[in-house]
Amino acid sequence: MPEIFVLAEHRQGAIRDITFEMLTKAHEIAEKTNKELTAVILGKDVQAHAKTLAEYAKTVILIQDPKLENFNSEAYKKTLTKLVTEHKPTLVMMGHTSYGIELAPRLAAALNTPLATDIIDLAFEGDTLTVTRQMYGGKVNVKATLHKAETYMTTIRQATFAAQKPAQPANGQITETPSPLAEEITEKRFIQYVLPPPGGVDITAAEKLIGIGRGIKDQANMPQMEELAKTLGAVLACSRPIVDKGWLPNDRQVGSSGKTVKPKLYIAIGISGAFQHVLGMKSSDLIIAINKDPKAPIFSFADYGIIEDLFKIVPSLKNKVYELKGQKT
């Protein structure tokens, strides 16, 4: 029976969520199209992880080697090239994460295996694989077909598929396979994890957040955003471009590479709503979005939307909030 490989992603002793999201989706595809689900885990002292994966997959391939202790795309590439060549799985899935982005294209090139990245949906029609992905920061969806091959490779967007523990544990067979890595990988070496120095404000603890994005346009416009936040008793947070420009420190960034927040109020100002940002704020209790573009993806996640120039709304809003607060006291 053809196999689906899900590459388990783990870091600092924990299996990452994307792994279970992929396993759940892969299980569904396997059931529907008569395939077998195999989880693959590479690492050092990860037997416990393999046991967890065995609850989801029929087979768990476990490869342990001190050289695989920390993620290293070269070590992973060499190991997986051998494994995929031997097993010829029909599909290899990994996360569209900092690890998958580093590994998948290079592994696909080494194997000459068609690759589709950042997938939000996928389906087999016979032995053809079609995928759905996005372009232009999530403003357009794309249906695409991978060119016929024995093995296809995909990287799966995070938080796209819900992770679900199987009702009946799969009781998978754990197969420990010897590591093919004979020598140290010298061309690429892991040194250490680096945590950016903590800043003064913890946005994850704030009840009200004002998230600002690219639409702010100029640093000269920052004071009026700060004033609005102050009037509202809110804390300023932001999407990536604001941190890139150095207008706010990086501990204010909301999204997949920043913080995940869940405040009572999130006002998104000048944020288009690329999934990387949305991932970090979509669970907020009340979301209000202000954006000029009526098709901005942020409006699909907001409770209230305002299609207008933010520089017209922000001053008025500050005044109204100020007035209302005045009445209270």
Residue in 33, 52, 134, 164 binding another protein, rule: CB under 8 A: 134
Residues 6+ apart with CB under 8 A from 2: 34, 35, 36, 89, 90
CB of 33 to another protein, least distance (A): 20
- Per CB under 8 A, 137 contacts another protein: yes
Cβ-contact 41, 53 below 8 angstroms: yes
Question: Looking only at residues 154 through 183 of this chain, which bind another protein when binding is defined by CB under 8 A?
Answer: 158
Q: Which helix (H) or strand (E) holds 60?
A: strand 59-64
Helix, coil or strand: residue 281: coil
Closest CA to 71 of 46, 38, 37, 39: 46
Using rule CB under 8 A, residue 21 touches another protein: no
Interface mask toward another protein for 223-242; x: CB under 8 A? ---------x-------xx-
Give the angle subtended at the CA of 144 by the CAs of 139 and 147, to the nearest 5°. Answer: 155
The rounded distance, in Å, linking the Cα atoms of 252 and 216 is 15
Binding mask 39-78 for another protein (x = CB under 8 A): -------------------------------xxxxx----
H/E run at residue 51: helix 47-53
Binding positions for another protein, 91-130, rule CB under 8 A: 96-98, 101-106, 108-110, 113-118, 130
Query: Which of 2, 11, 174, 201: binder of another protein (CB under 8 A)?
Result: 11
Lookup: tokens for 176: 């420990």
When asked if residue 295 is in the footprint of another protein (CB under 8 A), the reply is yes
Pick from 32, 142, 165, 283 the residue near another protein by CB under 8 A: 142
* Total residues interacting with another protein, rule: CB under 8 A: 105
Closer to another protein by CB, 5 or 76: give it. 76
